[in-house]
Structure 1
Amino acid sequence: MFGKLGTGELILILGIALVIFGPGKLPEVGKAFGKAIGEFKSHANKVSKDIEIDLNDKK
């Protein structure tokens, strides 16, 4: 989904975020977004490992 974002698209997204949140809030928003992505990846990996363990147990 997000794998094909180019430099132009990223600059546009950053510009829109800067206008919406302002320069003071942008670091806080970035930190919160990064933390949310990290937690999502962590949970997705855990679910994936749990499914793999269940499939191996059924064999």
Structure 2
Amino acid sequence: MKAPVTRDLYEYWSHLKGKRAAPDRAEIDPEAIRHILPDTFILEVDFDLGFPIRLCGLR
């Protein structure tokens, strides 16, 4: 990972998830990653609805 924002998000995500596949949505604190929010998006896996976008940055 060359881009600092990618590394920052990966470290944050890895810290939250621990040994799970992903952290719970409620665990993600946008304030904690506000410096990378413009480069971030979060999809929800919902087998009835598909993959609704839950957060989408502007970059």
In our comparison, the structure showing a higher alpha carbon Rg is: 1
- Name the structure where strand makes up a greater proportion of residues: 2
Specify if TM > 0.5. Answer: no
- TM-score by length of structure 2 reads 0.32
Q: With CA pairs under 8 Å and 6+ residues apart, which has the higher RCO, 1 or 2? A: 2
Query: Greater share of helix residues, 1 or 2?
Result: 1
